[in-house]
Amino acid sequence: PERYVEHAYNSIHRRYEYDLAGELSRTFDKLRGEVSYEYEANGRLLEQNPEKRFEGEAFRYDAAGNRLNFNTSRFDHVKDNRLKEWRNHEYKYDAWGNLIEKIVGIVRWQTFTYDSENRLVKTETMANSQVETTSSYQYDSLGRRVGKQSNIKGQTDQKHFLWQGLRMLREESPEQSSLYLYEPGSYAPLACVDQREGETENTVYYYHTDQIGTPLEMTDAEGHIVWQAKYAPWGLIKQLVVNEVEQNLRFQGQYFDVETGLHYNTFRYYDPEIGRFITQDPIGLSGGDN
């Protein structure tokens, strides 16, 4: 069966095909070309672009559904469903299951600090034995992140966040403020209204998302593409094709933090490199068995 999303007079249009199980089997995208997917019987992604020799990617899993290194003679060590190794990455956790260290090869080292409620409050990234980034985060009484401060290679950045329920409504920095509009009853973004400090006119940008609400492009009022990205299967951006404006929304409900590479997901943080959250679900098994 096929479902079509086409805009004949627009540079942005996509078509999706699904298999009999309802899984996405193929996408046709005017800007990105064709991408195909194959799955295991239980619905886990097995291959992306299997017919393309140099663009394809394959995945394998253990019995608990943890992703494993494919091109290796040994399996990764996964205990209590906590990923310890992935490719050239190493991960260390505290007694509560919070990620406290992420080591990439021999040149990059990240540390993560949490408060008594297991909320991430501080990070530091070392590269080649030098401090590259530091950051701190603040939360309101409902656990929503309301502020962050970061220092990236000597450049400081401060942001404040306002919420409408569990959706981020407004983002403020010393340079500008951004108001977000969403589809009704959804986290899928529709538009962003920016107002720069010292300017009276607002600038409106429009989101163009995929079938699950992930932003693929952003256009201005004239229809020009000002942001465009290509993603890996678990949400990591592989390439920013157009990057004229800052755009940090990712999977529905996720906000990209450039200082860590993580996605803030309201009550915990998601690592798109491995497709996993870095802390336990705060509501435990009440959130489901995933």
Same domain (yes/no): 30, 153: no
Instruction: Determine the straight-line distance between the first and last CA of the chain, rounded to whole angstroms.
Output: 28
Running DSSP on this structure, what letter comes out for residue 284? G
3-state SS, 186-217, equals CCCEEEEEEEECCCCCCEEEEEEECCCCCEEE
Predicted confidence band at 57 (pLDDT cuts at 50, 70, 90)? confident
Same domain (yes/no): 129, 217: yes
Q: What pLDDT, on the 0 to 100 scale, is given for residue 54?
A: 67
Same domain (yes/no): 139, 194: yes
Number of independent structural domains in the chain: 2
Q: What is the pTM of this model?
A: 0.89
Same domain (yes/no): 87, 134: yes
pLDDT at 256 over 50: yes
| The residue to which tokens 């229809």 are assigned | 223
Same domain (yes/no): 136, 30: no
The SS3 assignment for 286 reads: helix
Same domain (yes/no): 31, 105: no
pLDDT at 201 over 60: yes
Same domain (yes/no): 224, 115: yes
pLDDT at 190 over 70: yes
- Per residue in 211-223, pLDDT tens? 999 999 999 999 9
Same domain (yes/no): 179, 252: yes
Q: What pLDDT, on the 0 to 100 scale, is given for residue 167?
A: 97
Interstrand relation of 99-104 and 85-86 (parallel, antiparallel or unpaired): unpaired
Domain boundary among 31, 58, 85: 58
Domain boundary among 14, 42, 58: 58
pLDDT mean over 223-233: 95
pLDDT at 108 over 50: yes
Same domain (yes/no): 121, 161: yes
pLDDT mean over 242-264: 97
How far apart (Å, rounded) are the C-alpha atoms in residues 247 and 226? 10
Q: What percent of the chain has pLDDT over 70?
A: 90
Q: What pLDDT, on the 0 to 100 scale, is given for residue 3?
A: 52
How far apart (Å, rounded) are the C-alpha atoms in residues 244 and 218? 10
pLDDT at 50 over 80: no
- Per residue in 69-90, pLDDT tens? 765 544 455 567 788 888 889 9
Q: What pLDDT, on the 0 to 100 scale, is given for residue 49?
A: 85
pLDDT mean over 10-36: 91
Q: What pLDDT, on the 0 to 100 scale, is given for residue 70?
A: 63
Asked if 269 and 276 count as a contact pair (C-beta separation under 8 A), the reply is no
Q: What pLDDT, on the 0 to 100 scale, is given for residue 73?
A: 44
Asked if 132 and 125 count as a contact pair (C-beta separation under 8 A), the reply is yes
Same domain (yes/no): 11, 64: no
Q: What pLDDT, on the 0 to 100 scale, is given for residue 81?
A: 75
- For residue 280, which of 99, 92, 61, 77 has the smallest C-alpha distance? 99
Domain boundary among 43, 58, 73: 58
- For residue 181, which of 156, 209, 153, 200 has the smallest C-alpha distance? 209
Same domain (yes/no): 41, 70: no
How far apart (Å, rounded) are the C-alpha atoms in residues 115 and 72? 37
- Per residue in 143-181, pLDDT tens? 999 999 999 999 999 999 999 999 999 999 999 999 999
Specify the higher pLDDT residue, 259 or 74.
Answer: 259
The SS3 assignment for 285 reads: helix
pLDDT at 254 over 50: yes
Specify the higher pLDDT residue, 146 or 4.
Answer: 146
Q: What pLDDT, on the 0 to 100 scale, is given for residue 137?
A: 99
pLDDT at 53 over 70: no
Count Cα neighbours of 109 within 13 Å in the Cβ-side half-sphere: 8
Q: Domain of 124?
A: 59-287
How far apart (Å, rounded) are the C-alpha atoms in residues 37 and 32? 15
pLDDT at 120 over 90: yes
Specify the higher pLDDT residue, 1 or 218.
Answer: 218
Question: In this structure, what are the phi and psi dihedrals at residue 269, rounded to the nearest 5 degrees?
Answer: -115, 145
Same domain (yes/no): 237, 123: yes
Q: What pLDDT, on the 0 to 100 scale, is given for residue 223?
A: 93
